[in-house]
Amino acid sequence: MDTPVAIPVLSGPPPASAGDELRALLRLAIPLAAANLLQMAVYAIDVIFVARLGPVELAASTLGVYLYSVMMWAMSGLVGACAPVIAAELGARRHAVRQVRRSFRMAMWLSVLATLPFIVVLAMGERLMLLADQDPVVAARAGAFLDILLFAMIPAVASTAMRVTASALGRAGWATAVTAMALAVNLAGNWLLVFGNAGFPALGLEGSAISSVVTSVAMMLAYVAILRFDPKIRRYRLFGNWWRSEWSRLREIVKLGVPIALIFTLEGALFSAAGFLMGLIGVEQVGAHALALQIAAIAFQVPFGVAQAATIRVGMAYGAGDHRWVGRAGWVALGVGIGFMGVTASLLWGFPRLALSLYIDVDAPANAALVGLALQYLVIAALFQLFDGAQTVAAGVLRGVQDTRMPMVIAAFGYWVVGFGACIWLGFGLHWQGIGIWIGLAIGLAVVSALLVWRWSSRERLGLLPAPSAR
């Protein structure tokens, strides 16, 4: 049985104004967004090194990472459901130590048990690529890449569970530090193993996969050390009685987390499916899609960090039963996320070639076709920045009030009925090819963002709020 420990509640008093809420939000969001950006830099290193191996290796890496990322996103959503649960426990201002520990423990269990089936799927990577009618040479290389990368999944998911727990407990800054460490590890790993520097073997694509595995394990071990020795967290004894089951809490996290996982999967799978559609057009289209998507995804990491922070802030208000605090926290987060994406949309629209030059030599004659395609896709990416920021923050604030089922339905409809349908119709029906596929992505994001923001604005009428606190 978990032993109670006297620990002060971390939620603090409700903010007195929107300015107070903004400052509280930014204290969480800035380190989380910084960590997300650093994580993108980790992924960018892989792209930068692999892109120099040639278009076949880049396409293989791209398709392999798409498959891996969809599953990783799903698992991150599942175990990340412990964040709103922990936030609500803290916001209720009751003695929450035991409850926090139970939530964390079951999230860690899920990071292993629920990930195993996905590892089996990744082991069949080449077969899946061939079923998707991809180039056989690319499929073979992607399969070899995934045979190594699959070992990164459990440590990566466990790191997510530990990261969101530390953030909910008020220590979001560690996410930035750990991800910065991961960036250094992955840079060194790629430099040593892809081209064989400092006496190491030149392993090419496989070397990049090995580097990713090493990086994931390093992140997991770093978070274990933080949760055990950080003075503000270790008092929770989060790894205490790690073998003890808490089935009711596991069911609670799964009930909340499965829709979140499906939302992440539906969105991630849409972009991955767009990559596979590009593969039906040509290898260069896949590479251009990967580069443009990588650049667009960098901007997305800031509102995604805001969404992660908003889930915690709104979750605390939800646990406290404070309706005004819930509304203030949600609207402040939406304003920050959408405002930031307005800035990035302007920059991406005005300087797409500069952004692309961070990844490849835009003046090299051999890259002319790839650059031309990527620049076209980036113009459209600039247009959907606002929609992307709105939908991710709106989903985050709804998670704070533990509303995940209907957002899942909205995501399924918006991304796959509207968005993917538009990709196919515009890309192949109207023969707009890659441009049509990217316009379809923008349409899907626009529909999802509009419906999620409407649901948030109607939260009281829809019965999404808890009974007001008597305090």
3-state secondary structure 95-108: CCHHHHHHHHHHHH
This prediction's pTM: 0.83
1 or 281: whose pLDDT is higher? 281
Rounded Cα distance between 349 and 299, Å, is 13
- Per-residue confidence (pLDDT) for residue 469, from 0 to 100: 59
Find the mean pLDDT for residues 11-31.
82
Find the mean pLDDT for residues 278-303.
85
Out of 97-101, 178-182, 270-274, give the one with best mean pLDDT. Answer: 178-182
**What is each CA distance from 1 to 8, 95, 237, 240, in whole angstroms?**
21, 16, 13, 10
Q: Residue for token digits 């090299």?
A: 364
Check pLDDT > 60 for residue 22: yes
DSSP string, 157-225: HHHHHHHHHHHHTT-THHHHHHHHHHHHHHHHHHHHHTS--TT----THHHHHHHHHHHHHHHHHHHHH
Tokens found for residue 425? 């119709």
Tokens found for residue 320? 């406290």
- Per-residue confidence (pLDDT) for residue 19, from 0 to 100: 86
450-457 contacts, C-beta under 8 A, 24 or more apart: 451/410, 451/413, 451/414, 452/390, 452/391, 452/394, 452/395, 452/398, 452/407, 452/410, 453/334, 453/390, 453/394, 455/394, 455/398, 455/403, 455/406, 455/407, 455/410, 456/330, 456/334, 456/394, 456/397, 456/398
* DSSP for residue 151: G
Task: With CA atoms as reference, report the closest residue to 269 among 73, 48, 109, 10.
Answer: 73
Rounded Cα distance between 260 and 27, Å, is 24
**Which pLDDT tens digit goes with each residue over 418-469?**
999 999 999 999 999 999 999 999 999 999 999 999 999 999 999 998 877 5
- Per-residue confidence (pLDDT) for residue 458, from 0 to 100: 95
Check pLDDT > 80 for residue 237: yes
Percent of the chain with pLDDT over 90: 56
Please tell me whether residue 49 adopts helix, strand or coil conformation: helix
- Per-residue confidence (pLDDT) for residue 124, from 0 to 100: 94
Tokens found for residue 255? 């009930």
pLDDT band at 3 (very low <50, low <70, confident <90, very high): very low
Rounded Cα distance between 152 and 185, Å, is 14
Task: With CA atoms as reference, report the closest residue to 166 among 35, 341, 326, 323.
Answer: 35
Rounded Cα distance between 295 and 281, Å, is 21
Find the mean pLDDT for residues 248-253.
91
Q: What is the mean pLDDT of the chain?
A: 89
Find the mean pLDDT for residues 329-345.
93
* DSSP for residue 129: H
Q: Are 336 and 306 in contact (CB under 8 A)?
A: yes
**Which pLDDT tens digit goes with each residue over 105-157?**
999 999 999 999 999 999 999 999 998 888 899 999 999 999 999 999 999 99
Of the given ranges (227-236, 265-274, 321-330), which has the lowest mean pLDDT? 265-274
**What is each CA distance from 62 to 77, 124, 131, 285, 363, in whole angstroms?**
22, 16, 17, 11, 23
Task: With CA atoms as reference, report the closest residue to 335 among 397, 242, 403.
Answer: 397
Check pLDDT > 90 for residue 331: yes
User: How far is the first Cα of the chain from the last one, in angstroms, to the nearest whole number?
Assistant: 31
Q: Angle at Cα 76 formed by Cα 438 and Cα 224, nearest 5°? A: 140
Find the mean pLDDT for residues 374-380.
88
Rounded Cα distance between 146 and 118, Å, is 12
**Which pLDDT tens digit goes with each residue over 196-235?**
999 899 999 999 999 999 999 999 999 999 999 999 898 8
- Per-residue confidence (pLDDT) for residue 5, from 0 to 100: 35
- Per-residue confidence (pLDDT) for residue 275, from 0 to 100: 84
Residue-level length of the chain = 471
* DSSP for residue 235: G
pLDDT band at 381 (very low <50, low <70, confident <90, very high): confident
Q: Are 92 and 319 in contact (CB under 8 A)?
A: yes
Q: Are 135 and 283 in contact (CB under 8 A)?
A: yes
DSSP string, 54-83: -HHHHHHHHHHHHHHHHHHHHHHHHHHTHH
pLDDT band at 48 (very low <50, low <70, confident <90, very high): confident
- Per-residue confidence (pLDDT) for residue 446, from 0 to 100: 95
Q: Is the dihedral of CA 339, 408, 114, 268 positive or negative?
A: negative
Check pLDDT > 90 for residue 91: no
Helical axes 153-168 vs 82-91, angle rounded to 10°: 20
DSSP string, 290-319: HHHHHHHHHHHHHHHHHHHHHHHHHHHHHH
**Which pLDDT tens digit goes with each residue over 301-316?**
899 999 999 999 999 9
Tokens found for residue 56? 């076949």
Task: With CA atoms as reference, report the closest residue to 118 among 159, 146, 160.
Answer: 146
Q: Residue for token digits 């967290």?
A: 233
